[in-house]
């Protein structure tokens, strides 16, 4: 007698397909039920959440954008309110990075706002003033809040058109890269107060401690340049004083060039880790 061979793999496929049909049917029924319930729900409240402690945009401005006070939302049926359109209107605001709008069956519309986070303030050569956020996006100043961020000014050709925009010029991209590097280091974040772009389109750092300027050049090899500067700060300046030089040039990879401060009455001599190999105004850096 022959045994019947059961094709379990085929039955397994049938069972899985049947389960999917049941699941999808349940989802359709549930969505239909939700839509039915929603059709009779009236918007009773609008709740706005703006996390963080920097408020470029506040709840009142969000309410004005959505016209909450003019009963554009309150008192209306939820089915007549276009949630996606509300998000679109909010995301058009230059201070909002993202906006999420959702509703519940109690008639409450909730709005979650994620603000842009500025890392740099730029004053270009056209007397335009704007922020740059953590993604390199230009945004306008705010009447509500002034961010405590690193400022850059001087011969900066980066234009600003009062709208959300990316950085275009090489000097602006160098500034952004440099600011991000400084922000990531607690020492330089505390020491560097401002960045100035000179006529040669080279960056000069203005420190909080000392009357000197630090000629950085461009944003290439920032880790090497700041490492050289740190060595200079630790081993040279303590010997001659923080006001011994008016300019400290770190734009070269293997040396720091100091220009003496002529206003000092005392005679300052050059200091370095290897004083026997010093040139007149050059401090060699050895790693």
What is the pLDDT at residue 104? 87
What is the pLDDT at residue 279? 42
Of the candidates 63, 57, 167, the residue with the CA atom closest to the CA atom of residue 114 = 57
Chunked into runs of 10 residues, the chain (287 residues) has average pLDDT values of 53 62 57 54 90 83 84 84 92 93 90 94 96 95 90 96 88 98 96 97 95 94 95 84 86 85 54 38 51
What is the pLDDT at residue 23? 66
What is the pLDDT at residue 271? 40
> Rounded distance, CA 151 to CA 179, Å?
9
| Alpha carbon separation from 257 to 239, 245, 247, 281 (Å, rounded) | 16, 10, 8, 6
> Rounded distance, CA 223 to CA 268, Å?
29
pTM, whole model, 2 decimals?
0.76
Of the candidates 223, 169, 173, 216, the residue with the CA atom closest to the CA atom of residue 194 = 216
């Amino acid at each position: 007698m022959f045994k019947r061979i059961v094709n379990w793999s085929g039955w397994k496929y049938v069972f899985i397909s049947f389960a999917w049909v049941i699941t999808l049917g349940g989802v359709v029924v549930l969505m239909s039920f939700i839509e039915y319930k929603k059709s009779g729900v009236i918007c009773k409240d609008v709740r706005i959440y703006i996390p963080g402690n920097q408020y470029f945009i506040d709840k009142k401005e969000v309410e004005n954008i959505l016209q909450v006070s003019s009963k554009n939302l309150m008192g209306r049926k939820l089915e007549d309110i276009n949630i996606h359109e509300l998000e679109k209107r909010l995301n058009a605001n230059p201070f909002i990075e993202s906006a999420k709008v959702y509703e519940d069956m109690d008639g409450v519309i909730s709005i979650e706002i994620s603000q842009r986070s500025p890392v740099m303030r730029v004053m270009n050569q056209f007397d335009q003033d704007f922020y740059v956020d953590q993604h390199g996006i230009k945004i306008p100043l705010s009447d509500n809040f002034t961010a405590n961020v690193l400022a850059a000014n001087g011969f900066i050709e980066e234009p600003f058109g009062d709208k959300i925009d990316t950085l275009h010029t090489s000097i602006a991209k160098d500034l952004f890269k440099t600011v991000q590097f400084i922000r990531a280091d607690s020492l330089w974040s505390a020491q560097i107060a401002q960045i100035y772009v000179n006529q040669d389109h080279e960056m000069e750092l203005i420190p909080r401690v000392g009357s000197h300027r630090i000629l950085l050049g461009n944003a290439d090899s920032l880790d090497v340049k700041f490492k050289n500067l740190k060595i200079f700060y630790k081993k040279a300046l303590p010997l001659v004083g923080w006001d011994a030089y008016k300019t400290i040039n770190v734009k070269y990879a293997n040396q720091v060039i100091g220009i003496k401060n002529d206003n000092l009455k005392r005679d300052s001599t050059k200091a370095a880790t290897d004083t026997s190999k010093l040139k007149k105004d050059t401090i060699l850096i050895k790693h």
